[in-house]
Chains A and B, each alone.
Chain A
Amino acid sequence: MKSLVITQAILEQHKLSEDEYKKILEILGREPNWTELGMFSAMWSEHCSYKSSRIHLKKLPTTGPRVVQGPGENAGAVDIGDGLCAVFKMESHNHPSFIEPYQGAATGVGGILRDIFTMGARPIALLNSLRFGGLDNANTRHLLKGVVSGIAGYGNCMGVPTVGGEIVFNDIYALNPLVNVFCVGIARKDKIFLGKAAGVGNPVIYFGSKTGRDGIHGATMASDSFDEQAAQKRPTVQVGDPFTEKLLLEACLELMAGDCLVGIQDMGAAGLTSSACEMASREGTGVELELADVPRREPGMTPYEIMLSESQERMLMVAKAGREDEVIKICRKWDLDVAVIGRVTDTGKVVLKENGQIVAEIPAKALADDGPRYDRPSSPPAYQEMLQSLNYDALPDVKDANATLLELLDAPTIASKRWVYEQYDHMVRTNTMVRPGSDAAVLRVKGTNKALALSVDCNGRYCLLNPYEGAKIAIAECARNLACSGAEPIGVTDCLNFGNPQRPEVMWQFVLAIEGLKDACEALSVPIVSGNVSLYNETNDLSIYPTPMIGMVGLIEDADHTATQWFKQAGDVIILLGRTREDLGGSEYLKIVHHREQGSPPLLNLEDERAVQACTIRLIREGLVQSAHDCSDGGLAVALAECCISGPDGHIGAVIQLPLDGLRRDALLFGESQSRIVLSVKQEQVDSVLNAARNAGVPASRIGVVGGSRLMIRVDGDQRVAGCTIDLEVPNVHERWASAIPRALGQD
């Protein structure tokens, strides 16, 4: 191995600190060569090593009676009975999507799909959480269109339905959009595959696409902040080929149906480097690879390029010795490149050869697990107190509630996302019982009577104002969405999007958010089984709002007992579960109407939350509920409007009467108090429902009746307005809400 002089400039280019370089020297007992330096750089990047987050992630609850596979593998898995598991994970592709929205989003979908089918699961659903700037910005419109078509282009071709998601528009994300993709698959519990290189002498087999020069340093790019030169990083974004991935999926599942596989892992960030060293490290073995045997797109690629390429649609597997031909035959059936490129060894090292000459030799564990760990300093930002304090007396109460309600429904964050989800095939595989547009998507599980409910959620503004409460609410609201569908939450995956961890205020947000996630998961008895951390989400020194995105899986034991959010029938009685407080801080109303993103977000009592969710699930299971909808962005008035207008088969009105109870009118109508659910129930079930709620200790009140073509909300005790506070024709309400995004995109 030729030695080279490692300069400060070379280290900076590889995003390695001097201390980190010293550690590399210790591990190797010598200077690394160029290839080895590149491998360390990728594996010790924030993206791959979780060096700033790992000590905090340990605090998260990851165990439970249903957990079959917790964090640390390609994805998590929870038992859903009938010998089956739900296998799921969420991952970010934020940086690539900003640089090149179509391919960035498409390869984000491709990457998470591979994580799921690598485990032996057939992917059954995709959801996504997106964050963009305001739609008045031309670049944001370009990013939204590109990201949506990228997700559609990849997911649709794969035949995996995109069944739901959420999108928030806020200027803070204008130069750092978030693209988080959540994928769920189903596997047999006794056929879960792991990424392990077991059995000394077993062949290491490469299959999928050929390796090209694309995506080199993708992991390092994803661990960096952005500035005006971001566009120059376009070549680090990979190009997706969903057709090849579809072949890869079918080939993998065919291989897994037999018994020739020992371990398998996809080549995601840091490509062949990460798959090789992680598979060996997990098992305590080593691997020896011959790089000349790696299928390549072009001649003349160096070991450095081969090891750091992030070309998509590639897999690495370890098969049983002597079964190579079987594996090769199946891969060839699906027209995939395949090659035996090495063997499992007992040396504990990743040894790379090029035509027999050793070109790199590194202990696998050192690369995969012994990367640096940082307990970075954390302290609240100087502006935190200013953010949280808000003099509500200085803000005028709502004057024209009709106009305010329409303004909120017109805000792209709240408006109908039909323009987006109609571009996604959300029905392929014929499992989708509840399509996009309700609190959660619901999919039946073929071969059983069960269904899974899926939801994603996070309010970044709450997390900015109070990272602990905001993270708690993200878990609680996601679980509440599932409860509104009749599902019991059984597992969480997270995607923690934060700014630059070298800023103490960002670490402060991160550490508090972890505490919030922990407390909420423990209170609701739901474990976190997989996840992803995306740091350095800042551009030109401006960090995004802390955005710990949550994806959650819920189980419905009997698929017949599922609820949706929209009102069903005239004459049904509307019941509000939960209590409305003066919770205006951090609300969408304050942002839209008063242009303030300030105050304390609503405080969440986890005991109340647990009770209201359990009560809702029980009522749905007992068949007492016609519809159930969570109150979130825009508060009770928006939730009621959505109940009227979001049904797939037309709309229906409602007549509501609310007590003011000494609240401000805007807080009553648009405040975002937590732990509230709007139910509609048949007249003859009202007493049973109210009794059940009382017995469960859940506040419940009858607030109105479904019917007519107007949405009327009268506020009792309101001295200022004689008549109804809100009185609107439902078709007009629907029109504003339904056309808002196409209108903002100039496509109305």
Chain B
Amino acid sequence: MNIGVVVFPGSNCDHDCEYIFKDVLGQSVKMIWHKDTLPAGLDAVVLPGGFSYGDYLRTGAIARFSPVMGAVKTFAREGGLVIGICNGFQILLEAGLLPGVMLRNTSLNFICKDVYVKVENAATRFTNRCESGQVLKIPIAHADGNYYTDPVTLGGIKANAQVIFRYCTAEGKVTPEANPNGSLDNIAGIMNADGNVLGMMPHPERSAETVLGNEDGRLIFLSMLSAFGKTEQQSRLVSV
């Protein structure tokens, strides 16, 4: 599988996403500078986490104007697979590739911890290796993950099964206590109507290896591989 990881100024999970796809799953990865365009032949594009442009205006609000975003929009319109993680999700919202906005966490603090999310729709190109209703433990690390949208849009994405992940308890109950940031309807991740663009606040790349004590996040990446009829290759060690 050919993966492109976009590097915005201030991206800081770009290397982590590269490591998962290349070194852990054995796929081909290209790092794409935000001033460049997308190379031909990509199967999927990753918008990684971080603080693009320092998050100084509003998360993702400047990154959406980066030159590469025109190509990302075309790529998505033509059916290419796009996943935005954390800051990448925020950029997808600002760019209009997904509906809604991000508000500050209700605590007003940055929060870094493991959370549980429930897979609401397992029939997608990002979750086909999960069971519907499966609970995944994946960490979050953000200050602005409080998803919000208007009631009509919310009704639409729910009716259309575009809500992919919701914060829940370890037992899979979607409760206010399980919601770390005040997100509307406990939403942790959503997909576009065409099913090829996913945004999620939790970081699956941080919970995809046994050495880190948790492999739940790996299911997201394996699902993307499955969508292309691929399986993971023998992982290998690389020097830093």
Q: Which of B9, B112, B212 contacts A430 (CB 8 A)?
A: B212
Nearest 5 pairs of A and B residues by beta carbon:
A159-B12, A243-B54, A157-B51, A447-B239, A425-B141
CB-defined interface of B6-27 with A at 8 Å, one 1/0 digit per residue? 0001101101100110010000
Complex contact A428–B10 (CB within 8 A) = no
Report A204-250 residues with CB < 8 Å from chain B CB.
241-244, 246-247
User: What's the minimum C-beta distance from B81 to chain A, rounded to whole angstroms?
Assistant: 22
Judge if B238 is at the interface, Cβ distance under 8 Å.
Answer: yes
Assuming the contacts A156-B141, A432-B212, A447-B239, asked whether A425 and B51 have C-beta atoms less than 8 A apart, the reply is: no
Q: Which of B15, B211, B240 contacts A84 (CB 8 A)?
A: B240
Complex contact A427–B51 (CB within 8 A) = no
Judge if A607 is at the interface, Cβ distance under 8 Å.
Answer: no
Complex contact A433–B212 (CB within 8 A) = yes
Judge if A158 is at the interface, Cβ distance under 8 Å.
Answer: yes
Q: Which of A246, A424, A428, A448 contacts B9 (CB 8 A)?
A: A246
A-B contacts, 28 of them at CB < 8 A, read A83-B239, A84-B240, A149-B109, A152-B109, A156-B110, A156-B112, A157-B51, A159-B12, A188-B240, A242-B51, A243-B10, A246-B9, A246-B10, A246-B12, A334-B9, A422-B111, A425-B141, A428-B12, A429-B16, A430-B19, A430-B20, A430-B205, A430-B209, A432-B212, A433-B213, A444-B211, A444-B212, A446-B238
Judge if B60 is at the interface, Cβ distance under 8 Å.
Answer: no
User: What's the minimum C-beta distance from A520 to chain B, rounded to whole angstroms?
Assistant: 32
Judge if B125 is at the interface, Cβ distance under 8 Å.
Answer: no
Q: Which of A152, A241, A433 contacts B211 (CB 8 A)?
A: A433
Complex contact B9–A427 (CB within 8 A) = no
Cα A156 to Cα B205 in complex, Å, equals: 17
Q: Which of A157, A241, A334, A448 contacts B237 (CB 8 A)?
A: A448
Q: Which of B12, B109, B211, B237 contacts A447 (CB 8 A)?
A: B237
Judge if A668 is at the interface, Cβ distance under 8 Å.
Answer: no
Assuming the contacts A422-B112, A423-B111, A444-B211, asked whether A430 and B206 have C-beta atoms less than 8 A apart, the reply is: yes
Chain B residues lying within 8 Å of A321, measured Cβ to Cβ, are: none
Cα A612 to Cα B189 in complex, Å, equals: 49
Complex contact B114–A648 (CB within 8 A) = yes
Chain A residues lying within 8 Å of B4, measured Cβ to Cβ, are: none
Report B219-240 residues with CB < 8 Å from chain A CB.
237-240
CB-defined interface of B45-67 with A at 8 Å, one 1/0 digit per residue? 00001110111100000000000
Complex contact A423–B205 (CB within 8 A) = no
Chain B residues lying within 8 Å of A241, measured Cβ to Cβ, are: 54
Judge if B145 is at the interface, Cβ distance under 8 Å.
Answer: no
A82, A84, A334, A430: residue with the most chain B Cβ atoms closer than 10 Å = A430
Closest to A451 in B: B211
CB-defined interface of A384-423 with B at 8 Å, one 1/0 digit per residue? 0000000000000000000000000000000000000111
Complex contact B110–A428 (CB within 8 A) = no
Judge if B139 is at the interface, Cβ distance under 8 Å.
Answer: yes
User: What's the minimum C-beta distance from A577 to chain B, rounded to whole angstroms?
Assistant: 26
Q: Summarize B's interface: helix, strand, loop or mixed.
A: mixed
Known: A243-B56, A428-B49. 13 other contacts (CB 8 A): A157-B55, A159-B50, A242-B54, A243-B54, A246-B10, A335-B9, A422-B111, A428-B13, A430-B19, A430-B209, A433-B213, A444-B211, A446-B19
Report A635-678 residues with CB < 8 Å from chain B CB.
648
Judge if A507 is at the interface, Cβ distance under 8 Å.
Answer: no
Chain A residues lying within 8 Å of B206, measured Cβ to Cβ, are: 427-428, 430
Judge if B203 is at the interface, Cβ distance under 8 Å.
Answer: yes
Chain A residues lying within 8 Å of B50, measured Cβ to Cβ, are: 159
Assuming the contacts A334-B9, A427-B206, A430-B209, asked whether A243 and B112 have C-beta atoms less than 8 A apart, the reply is: no
User: What's the minimum C-beta distance from A436 to chain B, rounded to whole angstroms?
Assistant: 10
User: What's the minimum C-beta distance from B59 to chain A, rounded to whole angstroms?
Assistant: 12
Cα A429 to Cα B9 in complex, Å, equals: 16
Closest to B205 in A: A430
Report A150-198 residues with CB < 8 Å from chain B CB.
152-153, 156-159, 186, 188
Report B76-122 residues with CB < 8 Å from chain A CB.
109-114
Where the two chains meet, the residues of A that have a C-beta atom closer than 8 Å to any C-beta of B are 82-84, 122, 149, 152-153, 156-159, 186, 188, 241-244, 246-247, 333-335, 421-430, 432-433, 444-448, 559, 648
User: What's the minimum C-beta distance from A27 to chain B, rounded to whole angstroms?
Assistant: 43
User: What's the minimum C-beta distance from B161 to chain A, rounded to whole angstroms?
Assistant: 30
Question: Interface residues of B toward A: which range?
Answer: 35 or more
Complex contact A425–B112 (CB within 8 A) = yes
Cα A18 to Cα B13 in complex, Å, equals: 54
Q: Which of B51, B203, B212 contacts A156 (CB 8 A)?
A: B51
Chain A residues lying within 8 Å of B20, measured Cβ to Cβ, are: 430
Q: Which of A84, A425, A446 contacts B110 (CB 8 A)?
A: A425
Where the two chains meet, the residues of B that have a C-beta atom closer than 8 Å to any C-beta of A are 9-10, 12-13, 15-16, 19-20, 23, 33, 49-51, 53-56, 109-114, 139, 141, 203, 205-206, 209, 211-213, 237-240
Chain B residues lying within 8 Å of A648, measured Cβ to Cβ, are: 114
Closest to B203 in A: A427
Complex contact B13–A186 (CB within 8 A) = no
Cα A432 to Cα B213 in complex, Å, equals: 10
Chain A residues lying within 8 Å of B109, measured Cβ to Cβ, are: 149, 152, 422-423
Cα A427 to Cα B238 in complex, Å, equals: 20
Chain B residues lying within 8 Å of A559, measured Cβ to Cβ, are: 211
User: What's the minimum C-beta distance from B221 to chain A, rounded to whole angstroms?
Assistant: 13
Closest to A148 in B: B109
Cα A79 to Cα B239 in complex, Å, equals: 16
Chain B residues lying within 8 Å of A243, measured Cβ to Cβ, are: 9-10, 51, 53-54, 56
Chain A residues lying within 8 Å of B55, measured Cβ to Cβ, are: 157
Cα A158 to Cα B112 in complex, Å, equals: 15
Complex contact A428–B16 (CB within 8 A) = yes
Chain A residues lying within 8 Å of B203, measured Cβ to Cβ, are: 427
Chain B residues lying within 8 Å of A84, measured Cβ to Cβ, are: 240
Complex contact A424–B13 (CB within 8 A) = no
User: What's the minimum C-beta distance from A527 to chain B, rounded to whole angstroms?
Assistant: 24
Cα A590 to Cα B196 in complex, Å, equals: 63
Cα A242 to Cα B50 in complex, Å, equals: 12
Closest to A562 in B: B211
Cα A188 to Cα B239 in complex, Å, equals: 10
Assuming the contacts A445-B240, A447-B240, asked whether A157 and B9 have C-beta atoms less than 8 A apart, the reply is: no
Closest to A430 in B: B16
User: What's the minimum C-beta distance from A249 to chain B, rounded to whole angstroms?
Assistant: 10
Cα A426 to Cα B55 in complex, Å, equals: 19
B16, B19, B240: residue with the most chain A Cβ atoms closer than 10 Å = B240
Chain B residues lying within 8 Å of A149, measured Cβ to Cβ, are: 109
Q: Which of A153, A244, A424 contacts B112 (CB 8 A)?
A: A424
Cα A624 to Cα B32 in complex, Å, equals: 47
Cα A424 to Cα B113 in complex, Å, equals: 9
Complex contact A447–B16 (CB within 8 A) = no
Cα A333 to Cα B16 in complex, Å, equals: 22
User: What's the minimum C-beta distance from A156 to chain B, rounded to whole angstroms?
Assistant: 6
User: What's the minimum C-beta distance from A106 to chain B, rounded to whole angstroms?
Assistant: 12
Cα A445 to Cα B239 in complex, Å, equals: 9
Chain B residues lying within 8 Å of A242, measured Cβ to Cβ, are: 51, 54
Cα A648 to Cα B207 in complex, Å, equals: 15
Q: Which of A425, A433, A446 contacts B240 (CB 8 A)?
A: A446
User: What's the minimum C-beta distance from A469 to chain B, rounded to whole angstroms?
Assistant: 37
Cα A156 to Cα B13 in complex, Å, equals: 11
Chain B residues lying within 8 Å of A156, measured Cβ to Cβ, are: 51, 110, 112, 141
Cα A277 to Cα B238 in complex, Å, equals: 40
Cα A426 to Cα B51 in complex, Å, equals: 15
Closest to A244 in B: B54
Cα A425 to Cα B87 in complex, Å, equals: 14
Closest to B236 in A: A447
Chain B residues lying within 8 Å of A423, measured Cβ to Cβ, are: 109-112
User: What's the minimum C-beta distance from A582 to chain B, rounded to whole angstroms?
Assistant: 40
Chain A residues lying within 8 Å of B112, measured Cβ to Cβ, are: 156, 421-427
Closest to B112 in A: A425
Cα A225 to Cα B54 in complex, Å, equals: 35
User: What's the minimum C-beta distance from A745 to chain B, rounded to whole angstroms?
Assistant: 12
Closest to A429 in B: B16
Cα A537 to Cα B23 in complex, Å, equals: 48
